[in-house]
Amino acid sequence: GAVVSQHPSRVICKSGTSVKIECRSLDFQATTMFWYRQFPKQSLMLMATSNEGSKATYEQGVEKDKFLINHASLTLSTLTVTSAHPEDSSFYICSARSPQGLELFFGEGSRLTVL
């Protein structure tokens, strides 16, 4: 199956700093990638849809100025959590659908801890 890789897997930062998470499709081109957030013991909640070459589409309640998404190439999307606060601590997972099918492939996830 297709491979999606995410980096870093874990990051700890101080409150007020920014953190960038990268998501790469390794063996296919992804014009669209999806970013999810998962708090402890909860489900995956869609944050935004990342579109190559254009602006991301954010879900209701997700601040676009706080969660900056850039999808500059067909294999890379980045999520930057700006001015992070402890309540932003969560598991962030990216995903992409290969051009051939309906299955969504997930990155390994990034656990963000904001102190």
Partner 1 sequence: GENVEQHPSTLSVQEGDSAVIKCTYSDSASNYFPWYKQELGKRPQLIIDIRSNVGEKKDQRIAVTLNKTAKHFSLHITETQPEDSAVYFCAASGSGNTPLVFGKGTRLSVIA
Q: List contacts with partner 1 (CB under 8 A).
A: 31-32, 34, 42-46, 49, 51, 91, 93, 95, 97, 102-104, 106-109, 111
Is residue 88 within 8 A of residue 114, CB to CB? The reply is yes
16 vs 99, beta carbon nearer partner 1: 99
Give counts: helices (H), strands (E), the chain.
0, 11
34 vs 67, beta carbon nearer partner 1: 34
Strands 45-51 and 57-58: antiparallel
Distance in Å, CB of 113 to partner 1, minimum: 12
58 vs 76, beta carbon nearer partner 1: 58
Is residue 77 within 8 A of residue 94, CB to CB? The reply is yes
